[in-house]
Amino acid sequence: MAQAQNVELLDAEALLTPEKESQALVVWRRFRRHKLALAGLIVITTFIFLGIFAGLVAPYHPISYQNPRYRNAPPTAEHLLGTDEIGRDVFSRLLFAARISLTVAFLVTGTSHFVGALLGGISGYFGGWVDNMVQRLVDFLLTIPLLPLLLAFSSILRGITIPFVPAQYSSVVVISVILIMFGWMGACRLVRGMVLSLRALDFSEAARALGMSDARIILRHMIPNSMAPIIVSATLGLGGVIVLESALSFLGFGVQPPIPTWGNMLQAAQAGLLGQPAKVFYPGMAIFLTSLAFNYVGDGLRDALDPRLKL
């Protein structure tokens, strides 16, 4: 009797439950409505593809091609954006610089958010002295003014040789490691805050009642549930890393020539600022466009991933 009644109730419930739509699809549908974010996504995708296929798109080799007859040349059909002070093709270098700058940006934000999420998860979940240690470390690192510290570190690590990495590229690795070391604290605080509220919920208690280990609860329940803000923060962070890396390279402490990045191209171009002001404009525009695009995409994702905002 009771069973039959329950079955009837079930049918009614089944009819009332809306058709399942995949989570990713819902997010994409909401993201699409944000026009600027969509434009940003297109810009970033374009830059990524240009970076990946720089070898095919670029008319000249960015480093080894040097035309001594065309130094500081203005744009021509031969050299779309002209040549730099030692006769290299600016357009080709810009494309290869996209490869370096974007790789560093993704590597740094990816790793620093991974490390930050893990430490934040541990810190928030265990609380007590563990939490205290991690958070005081975060506080300490955040109080240090970043730029002088980065300058100091990169000049110390400048001459280092890293196994399996060509000597030319060692500065790329060094700058990435430094940016990761001083870039994980935001994600750590973010995840810690999320986990503090998540671990009080019954589902984490249920996991403990099932005999699940703390590590598994953090990895399977705490961090996945903090994913939305992490993704948003990482996307916004990408733009920041590009700017920071450019700033360091501009100051001469980042990626070392002859490897092109937007930052060191900017620095090289400023020498000829009066004669060729446009040379500053190209890498500057690339930095400006990508960081702006990342910011819009981040904004779009923030809205798309927030279930409380009904768009």
Partner 1 sequence: MAEVKTNGDHGDDLVIVRNMVKYFPIRGGLLQRVVAQVKAVDDVSFTIKRGETLGVVGESGCGKTTVGRTLLRLVPYTSGQVLFEGRDVFQAGNREMKELRKEMQIVFQDPFSSLDPRMPIGESIMEGLVVHRIGTAAERWERVINLLRLVNMEDFHAKRYPHEFSGGQRQRIGIARALALDPKFIVADEPVSALDVSVQAQVLNILMDLQQQLGLTYLFIAHNLSVVEHISSRVAVMYLGKMAELASRGDIFENPLHPYTQALMSAIPVADPRKAGSRDRIILEGDVPSPINPPAGCHFHPRCRYAMKGLCDQEEPEFKDYGTGHFVACWLVEKEAG
Are the CB atoms for 250 and 267 separated by under 8 Å?
yes
Pick the binder of partner 1 from 159, 161, 202, 275 (CB under 8 A).
202
Is residue 227 part of the contact set for partner 1 (CB under 8 A)?
yes
Nearest approach, Cβ of residue 98 and partner 1 (Å) = 35
Residue whose CB is less far from partner 1, 68 or 202: 202
Q: Which two tokens stand for residue 198?
A: 């998540």
- Tokens 């510290």, residue? 149
- CB-based burial, 85-111: b 16+ in 10 Å, e otherwise: eebbbbbbbbbbbbbbbbebbebbbeb
CB 189 to partner 1: min, Å: 21
* Residue 3 in contact with partner 1, rule: CB under 8 A: yes
Which has the closest alpha carbon to 102: 252, 249, 239, 301? Answer: 239
Rounded to a whole number of angstroms, the minimum distance from the CB of residue 220 to partner 1 is: 8
Instruction: Of 309, 249, 304, give the one whose Cα is nearest residue 29.
Output: 304
Q: How many residues bind partner 1 (CB under 8 A)?
A: 32
The C-alpha angle 255, 257, 261, rounded to 5 degrees, equals: 55
User: In this complex, which beta carbon is closest to partner 1, that of residue 26 or of residue 147?
Assistant: 26
58, 89 in Cβ contact below 8 A? Answer: yes
The 15-44 contact track toward partner 1, x by CB under 8 A, reads: -xxx-x--x---------------------
Residue 203 engages partner 1 in binding (rule: CB under 8 A): yes
128 φ/ψ sector (left φ>0, alpha ψ -120 to 50, else beta): left
> In the complex, what is the shortest distance from the CB of residue 310 to partner 1, in angstroms, rounded to a whole number?
13
Question: Which conformational region is residue 84 in: left (phi greater than 0), alpha (psi within -120 to 50 degrees), or beta?
Answer: beta
If one asks whether residue 209 binds partner 1 (CB under 8 A), the answer comes out as yes
Stretch that binds partner 1, among 107-115, 224-232, 237-245, 278-286 (CB under 8 A): 224-232
Nearest CB to partner 1, comparing residues 128 and 159: 128
Between vectors from CA 69 to CA 65 and to CA 70, what angle results, nearest 5°? Answer: 70
Q: How far is the CB of 311 from partner 1 (least distance, A)?
A: 17
Residue 7 as a binder of partner 1 (CB under 8 A): the answer is yes
Q: Assess contact for 101 and 246: CB atoms under 8 A.
A: yes
Q: Which of 55, 59, 74, 224 binds partner 1 (CB under 8 A)?
A: 224
Among the candidate windows 84-92, 142-150, 153-161, 206-214, which touches partner 1 by CB under 8 A? 206-214
Binding residue for partner 1 (CB under 8 A) from 108, 119, 195, 207? 207
Minimum CB distance to partner 1 smaller for 3 or for 143: 3
What is the contact surface with partner 1 in residues (CB under 8 A)? 2-3, 5-7, 9-10, 13-14, 16-18, 20, 23, 201-203, 205-213, 216, 220-221, 224-225, 227
